[in-house]
């Protein structure tokens, strides 16, 4: 233990503790901006500087460790002056037009400046200009970027995609796409983790809320909306709802109030995904010699973009099943249009997703199998739907809970856990067991694959067949797993991959809480919903059963293939520079 | 009213004088990778501040150039502006009244021509072509990428063995380099911004001197692969060391009687005592490297046979042939090459120079090694003849100073023209053509020209020629290894193109260069041979680096190493340089600014833990 004094408080902390952590442990909250524990400890903003007795220059508390006998002051005149001045300097180059910022009210810079009581800035304002496409789902505003470098770090260290880097030098140093590329020509997978780790509004999703309002205003359109599993675990966070109040049924009520015609649950199509993907897996296992293993899940579009750009030679190992979002879209504009007895062209299909990559997935040219334009017309993130609720001045807290519409509003507990890492695997195993063994397993029989760990492995016996499965979340973990598979060090039959750490509940489209990772907490909400659910098996979802009976015939039928499966090679994804190097060297060996 | 006054600087002037000094040191410490256009603009602004304001091109033109460069950097210019910058700079260069103006414009012109691509990149893409890839200047400039801040921090904590382990991750010759490395790491040390570079080599030596025997790390699992290393110098032995750590079998074929290459056969023992060299070599050999000394590839064994019997080959034969002056009388008795003399010394065949008058031709480090060895071998008179000026010598300044202190005369601006012999064909004098220093050539060095003065005669008993070395590459060329201008062609990955499995590096690829470059080439070769053999063994070091001290770094003088008194050292081949004292090492190691932690290094590129 190291003994020291912070602001006249004697404390004792373990060796290697940073000054910042030491101070926070005794409720002395040193403000910081760029710092993100274990991810970005680079002392760039100099806001967390403190004074150490006997040392003339100030020291950053985030990345320097305590020493025996230190006497530290977190609010000395020198510190106060430096902290305030450095924030003023940041503000002098920041687009402070907060009224139109997506992060207003949830901005670390705004909070820090407000806390310090900065009312005017003594420096000349020089906001850098920004060249960026308006079309790509990921928007960067150079005028708001404070060069904290967190986006670079999360993309490098957690996701391992290396999209962001420092660009330019000297006073013009900024953050931009690596290798002088434009974002739309890069291998960005659109996981959105850079957004959820940005302390300010420099990174955000493309805002599609106005298109949603236009659709709602259009009397000729029938608006059909689906709510993804993970959204229900997070939507209330940024509008001040407690987890108890922020139920999905209350969100249903809010959406109905907003004017959506039919409100459905992506859990339904998650169950449908299980029927198709589970059946596909069993088919692949039956014909082992024809297929390369493992089979990978295909419901995460960030992951699909990853494998297409990083390991294009492995794309055929993805399940051909569409994601729940796209299955829903295809069903909405075919089966459901038929049920309603309307022209599917009139249906405007919206999805609410914890995700940015879903925006791109819906726009993939071949995702139009129902024949009425794109199967999903518009994708909104959890954050966007929250903005719409605020724009409509809907007091969600006061609303009574309402039920989903039927039949596409019925989902199982197996569907709801799609939103947490391991959930797809668990749901699939529940149904695969049923298909193989002809009876249901204990619904919690496969709970080994739950939990926040980034790389999980398990072995299960399915009617005499030993199955090796793995679950990864976070693309850095994914790359490690794939490299091991490619080297032959690991052999699996089935692998679930989610691009975001913790799965969709930690998705890049979810509400942002600076410095806090909520993937696990939200995931636990979903497991709680599963536990309480009356239906815990996808194959027992009555709407799914009806869909097959009345329309699709059976899993993997010709119709199911046309509407519910896709060809992952039918569209282009920019290759990773690493992959291109492989190809140059003729190194692709598998 | 006094008629005249002495000039006394006022306070402002004195402060500015100090700032000039600060700026000079700052430029020395400029990190690699800065935006060249941005630097041009900054220099231009400095130049513009120097203008007296009398003349139009300088007063107004430099300012307008600065405006245009700013527009380029801010992405507000179009490509035509480059032509306007060029024209304006040309006019200023041609019409400014004094050097303040025309030299400033010339700097801009050089840039527009020299890094036009970067101008275009800024204009078209609002980006720079350069970036700070390695922000720690010493590590960036060490060819082998040794973790310098890391081992200095370890020295500072008294962890000398760990320091040696950490150095060996990238360089298996810590002891030799502690004495004779040319320390490119010190050139841009950020400490220059405060006072002076850290004495990095001195601290390395201190670590080695106080670590005792530090064994090599455990070897990785045996792969069964065999690699032939042709040439047992620093490059070949470095490759052998790392390949052995990776579990491969390295076999070194060395032409001479002993290992070490130029470290043994080029560097005299007063700079690098043999036991110090052997301490490094012994650790390398302890990893199971097999050695065949006295075997010349091409005579005793063919390259073809080696290629058949080994999975891969690394050619690191160094540069061991001498270059000739090409003057009359060079083939006579009493004219020898530096290479020949140093090779004999390397095998402990000390020539007897007692009472002899010796002329050494050349101005590089080898010439200094030769003249200083000659003094130690008892020569009565040693004169170094060099055709440029003393300050143009490529030898390190301290080497030249050391030689002079030991009694060597430097006869600069003398171009050898012929060698006079007696009736028995013995050389008796070197005749030279006196030179006048002339215009600066493209490399930035002034060229010597024949002066309008009569020839000079240097009477002597022995002439030693030290004007460069060549490479014995003919045999390899005959075996299909590509050779250009006598130098073996290899890529920067050390691959020899179109000759599968054959790699080459060190002096035989670069031409005569520094030991640390040769070591780096061996390291690169080891990594790429490993990949070629289908492996990806990772070399690392599990030593944890102390967290940096947080105290202030006030300006403080650099600890320089002391040398034995010239009068004492010139009579023996004992190591002439004294290491730091404990007290000095403590203070000097504390001068390190820890650029791996403070500054960009804490974010990116600050530490390469494994390779």
Residue of B nearest to A38 (CA): B603
Distance CA B28, CA B60 (A): 30
The answer as to whether B456 is a domain residue is: yes
How many beta carbons lie within 10 A of that of residue B21, not counting itself?
Answer: 10
Check CB contact of A445 with chain B, cutoff 8 Å. no
> Contact B602/A180, CB-based, under 8 Å?
no
What total of structural domains would you count in chain B? 4
Of the candidates A167, A169, A180, the beta carbon closest to that of B34 is on A169
Distance CA A154, CA B226 (A): 42
The answer as to whether B20 is a domain residue is: no
> Contact B604/A166, CB-based, under 8 Å?
yes
> Contact A63/B602, CB-based, under 8 Å?
yes
Task: Give yes or no: residues B142 and B277 share one domain.
Answer: no
CATH assignment of A209-564, given 3.30.160.40, 3.40.950.10, 3.30.70.100, 3.40.1280.10? 3.40.950.10
DSSP strand E in B326-387: where?
335-337, 357-361, 381-385
CATH assignment of A2-92, given 3.30.1330.10, 3.20.20.140, 2.60.40.1080, 3.10.20.740? 3.10.20.740
Check CB contact of B519 with chain A, cutoff 8 Å. no
Q: Given this model, what pLDDT does residue A215 score?
A: 97
Q: Given this model, what pLDDT does residue B445 score?
A: 87
Task: Give yes or no: residues B447 and B330 share one domain.
Answer: yes
Task: Give yes or no: residues B208 and B147 share one domain.
Answer: yes
Kindly give the pairing relationship between strand B462-465 and strand B357-361: parallel
Nearest to B306 by CA among B474, B471, B481, B472: B481
Distance CA B74, CA B81 (A): 13
Task: Give yes or no: residues B211 and B87 share one domain.
Answer: no
Interval B107-128 mean pLDDT = 91
Cis, bond preceding B533 (omega within 30 deg of 0): no
> Contact A180/B552, CB-based, under 8 Å?
no
Q: How many residues does chain A have?
A: 590
Nearest to B216 by CA among B198, B237, B202, B188: B237
Positions of CATH 3.30.70.20 in chain A? 98-205
Distance CA B599, CA B611 (A): 23
Sort out which chain A residues have CB atoms less than 8 A from B552's CB and list them. 55-57
pLDDT digits (tens, 9 = 90+) for A24-62: 999 999 999 999 999 999 999 999 999 999 999 999 999
DSSP strand E in A290-366: where?
295-296, 347-353
Classify residue B546 as left (phi > 0), alpha (psi -120 to 50) or beta.
beta
pLDDT above 90 (res B555):
yes
For residue B72, the enclosing domain spans: 34-125
The answer as to whether B160 is a domain residue is: yes
The answer as to whether B539 is a domain residue is: no
* Helix or strand holding residue B322 (H, E): strand B321-322
Nearest to A175 by CA among A144, A205, A206, A152: A152
The answer as to whether B2 is a domain residue is: no
Residue A584 confidence class, pLDDT cut points 50, 70, 90: very low
Work out the burial of residue A163: count CB atoms within 10 Å of its CB; fewer than 13 is exposed, 13-18 middle, 19 or more buried: buried
The strands making up B409-411's β-sheet, listed across from edge to edge, are B335-337, B462-465, B357-361, B381-385, B409-411
Kindly give the pairing relationship between strand A164-167 and strand A174-177: antiparallel
Instruction: Give contacts of A 13-32 with B, CB under 8 A.
Output: 16
Strand partners, A5: A10, A71
Residue B4 confidence class, pLDDT cut points 50, 70, 90: confident
Residue B76 to chain A, least CA–CA distance (Å): 11
What does the radius of gyration of chain B's CA atoms come to, in whole angstroms? Answer: 27
Task: Give yes or no: residues B508 and B525 share one domain.
Answer: yes
Q: Given this model, what pLDDT does residue A580 score?
A: 60
The answer as to whether B239 is a domain residue is: yes
Sort out which chain B residues have CB atoms less than 8 A from A42's CB and list them. 602-603
Residue B9 to chain A, least CA–CA distance (Å): 31
Tokens of A341: 């007895």
Check CB contact of A64 with chain B, cutoff 8 Å. yes
Sort out which chain B residues have CB atoms less than 8 A from A169's CB and list them. 33-35, 38, 128, 130-132
pLDDT digits (tens, 9 = 90+) for A392-436: 999 999 999 999 999 999 999 999 999 999 999 999 999 999 999
Task: Give yes or no: residues B153 and B177 share one domain.
Answer: yes
Q: Given this model, what pLDDT does residue A581 score?
A: 54
Q: Given this model, what pLDDT does residue A586 score?
A: 38
Distance CA A500, CA A513 (A): 16
Interval B501-526 mean pLDDT = 95
Residue with token string 């074929």:
B253
Q: Given this model, what pLDDT does residue A168 score?
A: 78
Sign of CA dihedral B578, B584, B586, B589: negative
The answer as to whether B24 is a domain residue is: no
Nearest to B131 by CA among B235, B33, B26, B46: B33
How many beta carbons lie within 10 A of that of residue B14, not counting itself?
Answer: 11
Tokens of A431: 């149904």
Kindly give the pairing relationship between strand A378-381 and strand B249-254: unpaired
Residue B338 confidence class, pLDDT cut points 50, 70, 90: very high
Contacts of B571 (CB under 8 A, 6+ apart): B376
Q: How far apart are the first and last CA of chain B?
A: 75
Task: Give yes or no: residues B109 and B45 share one domain.
Answer: yes
Sort out which chain A residues have CB atoms less than 8 A from B131's CB and list them. 165-167, 169
Task: Give yes or no: residues B397 and B459 share one domain.
Answer: yes
One-character DSSP codes across A373-432:
S-SS-EEEEHHHHHHHHHHTT--GGGSPP-PPPTTTT---HHHHGGGSTTHHHHHHHHHH
Residue A517 to chain B, least CA–CA distance (Å): 22
> Mean of the per-residue pLDDT values for chain A?
94
The answer as to whether B247 is a domain residue is: yes
Of the candidates B38, B127, B597, the beta carbon closest to that of A170 is on B38
> Contact B131/A167, CB-based, under 8 Å?
yes
Residue A587 confidence class, pLDDT cut points 50, 70, 90: very low
Residue of B126, B531, B535 for testing the chain A interface, max A β-carbons within 10 Å: B126
Classify residue B506 as left (phi > 0), alpha (psi -120 to 50) or beta.
left
Q: Given this model, what pLDDT does residue B132 score?
A: 67
pLDDT above 60 (res B166):
yes
Tokens of B7: 């000039």
Chain centroid to CA B90: how far? Answer: 36
Instruction: Assign residue B571 the CATH number of its domain.
Output: 1.10.1060
Tokens of A378: 């518009």
Check CB contact of A587 with chain B, cutoff 8 Å. no
DSSP state letter for B525: H
Determine if the pTM surpasses 0.95: no
Q: How many residues does chain B have?
A: 611
- Domain at A98-205: CATH code: 3.30.70.20
Task: Give yes or no: residues B464 and B328 share one domain.
Answer: yes
Instruction: Identify whether the C-beta of residue B39 lies closer than 8 Å to the C-beta of residue B31.
Output: no
Task: Give yes or no: residues B337 and B462 share one domain.
Answer: yes
Residue of B nearest to A150 (CA): B603
Residue B245 to chain A, least CA–CA distance (Å): 22
Contacts of B436 (CB under 8 A, 6+ apart): B413, B448, B449, B450, B451, B452
* Helix or strand holding residue B265 (H, E): helix B262-265
Instruction: Identify whether the C-beta of residue B371 lies closer than 8 Å to the C-beta of residue B402.
Output: no
Task: Give yes or no: residues B354 and B385 share one domain.
Answer: yes
pLDDT above 80 (res A388):
yes
Nearest to A251 by CA among A116, A137, A368, A388: A388
Chain centroid to CA B538: how far? Answer: 28
Instruction: Assign residue B40 the CATH number of its domain.
Output: 1.20.1440.230
Check CB contact of A65 with chain B, cutoff 8 Å. yes
Task: Give yes or no: residues B332 and B464 share one domain.
Answer: yes
Residue with token string 């490094």:
B280
User: Which residue, of B468, B489, B508, is where some domain finishes?
Assistant: B468
C-alpha count within 13 angstroms, C-beta hemisphere, residue A368: 12
ipTM above 0.95, yes or no: no
| Three-state SS at A106 | coil
Strand partners, A6: A9, A72
Residue A579 confidence class, pLDDT cut points 50, 70, 90: confident
Nearest to A369 by CA among A559, A208, A562: A562
> Mean of the per-residue pLDDT values for chain B?
93
One-character DSSP codes across A473-522:
ESHHHHHHHHHHHHHTS---SEEEEESSTTGGGG-TTS---TT---HHHH
Burial B420-459 (b: 16+ CB within 10 A, else e): bbeeeeebbbbbbbbbebeeeeeeeeeebeeeeeeeeebe
Positions of CATH 3.40.950.10 in chain A? 209-564
Check CB contact of A287 with chain B, cutoff 8 Å. no
């Amino acid at each position: 233990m190291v003994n020291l004094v912070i602001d006249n408080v004697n404390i004792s902390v373990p060796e290697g503790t940073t000054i910042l952590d030491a101070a926070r442990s005794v409720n002395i909250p040193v403000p910081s901006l760029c710092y993100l524990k274990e991810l970005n400890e680079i002392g760039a903003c100099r806001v967390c500087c403190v004074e150490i007795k006997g040392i003339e220059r100030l020291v950053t508390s985030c990345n320097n460790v305590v020493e025996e006998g230190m006497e530290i002051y977190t609010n000395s005149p020198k510190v106060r002056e430096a902290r305030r001045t450095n924030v003023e300097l940041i503000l002098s180059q920041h687009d402070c037009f907060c009224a139109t910022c997506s992060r207003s009210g949830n901005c670390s810079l705004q909070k820090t400046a407000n806390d310090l009581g900065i009312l005017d800035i003594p420096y000349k304002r020089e906001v850098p200009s920004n060249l960026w496409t308006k079309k790509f789902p990921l928007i960067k505003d150079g005028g708001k970027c404070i060069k904290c470098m967190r986006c670079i770090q999360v993309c490098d260290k957690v996701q391992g995609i290396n999209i962001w880097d420092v660009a330019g030098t000297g006073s013009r140093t900024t953050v931009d796409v690596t290798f002088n590329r434009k974002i739309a020509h890069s291998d960005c997978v659109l996981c959105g983790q850079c957004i959820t780790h940005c302390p300010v509004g420099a990174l955000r999703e493309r805002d599609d809320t106005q298109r949603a309002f236009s659709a709602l205003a259009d009397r000729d359109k029938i608006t059909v909306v689906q709510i993804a599993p993970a959204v229900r675990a997070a939507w209330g966070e940024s509008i001040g709802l407690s987890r108890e109040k922020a139920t999905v049924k209350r969100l249903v009520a809010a959406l109905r109030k907003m004017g959506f015609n039919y409100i459905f649950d992506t859990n339904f199509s998650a169950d449908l995904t299980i029927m198709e993907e589970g059946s596909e897996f069993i088919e692949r296992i039956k014909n082992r010699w024809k297929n390369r293993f493992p089979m990978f899940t295909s419901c995460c579009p960030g992951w699909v973009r990853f494998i297409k750009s990083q390991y294009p030679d492995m794309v055929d190992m993805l399940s051909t099943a569409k994601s729940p979002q796209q299955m829903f879209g295809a069903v909405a504009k075919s089966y459901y249009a038929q049920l309603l007895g309307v022209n599917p062209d009139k249906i405007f299909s919206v999805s609410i997703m914890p995700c940015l990559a879903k925006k791109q997935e819906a726009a993939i040219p071949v995702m139009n199998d129902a024949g009425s334009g794109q199967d999903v017309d518009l994708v909104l993130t959890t954050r966007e739907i929250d903005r719409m609720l605020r724009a409509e001045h809907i007091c969600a807290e006061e609303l009574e809970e309402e039920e989903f519409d039927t039949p596409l509003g019925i989902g199982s507990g197996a569907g709801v856990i799609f939103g947490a890492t391991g959930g797809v695997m668990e749901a699939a195993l529940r149904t695969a067991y049923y298909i193989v063994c002809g009876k249901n397993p204990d619904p919690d029989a496969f709970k080994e694959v739950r939990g926040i760990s980034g790389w999980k492995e398990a072995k299960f016996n399915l009617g005499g067949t030993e199955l090796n499965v793995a679950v990864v979340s976070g693309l850095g973990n994914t790359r490690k797993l794939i490299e091991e598979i490619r080297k032959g060090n690991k052999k699996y039959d089935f692998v679930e991959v989610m691009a975001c750490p913790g799965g969709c509940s930690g998705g890049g489209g979810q509400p942002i809480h600076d410095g806090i990772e909520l993937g696990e907490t939200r995931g636990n909400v979903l497991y709680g919903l599963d536990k309480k659910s009356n239906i815990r098996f996808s194959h027992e979802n009555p709407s799914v059963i009806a869909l097959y009976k009345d329309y699709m015939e059976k899993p993997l039928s010709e119709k199911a293939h046309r509407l519910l499966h896709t060809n992952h090679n039918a569209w282009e994804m920019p290759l990773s520079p690493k992959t291109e190097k492989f190809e140059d060297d003729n190194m692709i060996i598998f | 009213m006094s008629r005249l006054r002495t000039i006394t600087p006022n306070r402002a002037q004195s402060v500015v004088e100090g700032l000039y000094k600060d700026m000079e040191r700052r430029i020395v410490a400029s990190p690699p990778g800065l935006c060249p256009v941005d630097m041009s603009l900054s220099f231009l602004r400095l130049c513009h501040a120097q203008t007296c304001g009398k003349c139009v091109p300088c007063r107004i033109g430099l300012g307008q150039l600065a405006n245009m460069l700013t527009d380029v950097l801010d992405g507000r210019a179009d490509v035509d502006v480059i032509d306007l910058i060029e024209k304006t700079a040309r006019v200023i260069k041609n019409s400014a009244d004094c050097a303040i103006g025309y030299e400033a414009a010339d700097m801009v012109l050089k840039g527009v021509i020299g890094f036009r691509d970067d101008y275009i990149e800024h204009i078209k893409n609002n980006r720079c072509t350069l970036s700070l890839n390695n922000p720690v200047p010493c590590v960036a400039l060490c060819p082998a990428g040794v973790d310098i801040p890391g081992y200095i921090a370890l020295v500072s904590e008294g962890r000398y063995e760990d320091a040696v382990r950490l150095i060996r991750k990238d360089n298996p010759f810590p002891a030799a380099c502690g004495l004779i490395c040319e320390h490119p790491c010190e050139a841009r040390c950020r400490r220059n911004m405060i006072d002076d570079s850290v004495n990095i080599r001195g601290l390395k030596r201190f670590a080695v001197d106080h670590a005792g025997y530090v064994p090599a790390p455990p070897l990785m699992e045996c792969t069964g692969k065999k690699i032939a290393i042709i040439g047992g110098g620093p490059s070949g032995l470095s490759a052998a060391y790392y390949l052995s750590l990776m579990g491969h079998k390295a076999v070194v074929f060395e032409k001479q009687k002993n290992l070490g290459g130029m470290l043994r056969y080029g560097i005299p023992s007063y700079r690098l005592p043999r036991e110090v060299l052997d301490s490094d070599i012994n650790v390398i050999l302890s990893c199971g490297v097999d050695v065949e000394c006295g075997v010349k590839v091409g005579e005793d064994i063919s390259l073809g046979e080696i290629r058949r019997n080994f999975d891969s080959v690394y050619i690191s034969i160094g540069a061991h042939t001498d270059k000739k002056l090409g003057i009359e009388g060079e083939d006579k008795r009493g004219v020898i090459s530096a290479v020949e003399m140093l090779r004999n010394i390397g095998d402990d065949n000390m020539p007897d120079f007692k009472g002899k008058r010796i002329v050494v031709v050349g101005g590089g480090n080898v010439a200094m090694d030769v003249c200083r060895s000659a003094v130690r071998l008892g020569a009565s008179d040693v004169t170094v003849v060099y055709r440029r000026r003393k300050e143009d010598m490529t030898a390190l300044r301290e080497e030249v100073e050391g030689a002079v202190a030991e009694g060597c005369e430097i006869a600069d601006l003398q171009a050898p023209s012929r060698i006079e012999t007696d009736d028995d064909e013995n050389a008796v004098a070197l005749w030279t053509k006196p030179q006048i220093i002339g215009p600066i050539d493209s490399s930035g060095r002034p060229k010597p020209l024949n002066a309008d003065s009569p020839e000079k005669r240097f009477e002597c008993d022995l002439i030693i020629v030290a004007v460069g070395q060549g490479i014995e590459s003919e045999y390899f060329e005959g075996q299909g290894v590509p050779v250009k201008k006598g130098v073996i062609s290899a890529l920067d990955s050390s691959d020899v193109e179109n000759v599968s499995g054959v790699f080459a590096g060190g002096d035989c690829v670069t031409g005569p260069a520094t030991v640390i470059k040769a070591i780096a080439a061996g390291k690169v070769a080891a990594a790429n041979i490993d990949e070629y053999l289908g492996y990806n063994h990772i070399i690392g070091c599990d030593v944890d680096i102390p967290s940096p001290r947080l105290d202030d770094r006030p300006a403080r003088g650099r600890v320089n190493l002391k040398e034995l008194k010239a009068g004492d050292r010139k009579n023996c081949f004992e190591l002439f340089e004294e290491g730091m004292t404990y007290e000095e090492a403590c203070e000097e190691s504390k001068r390190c600014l820890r650029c791996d932690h403070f500054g960009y290094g804490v974010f990116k590129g600050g530490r390469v833990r494994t390779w």
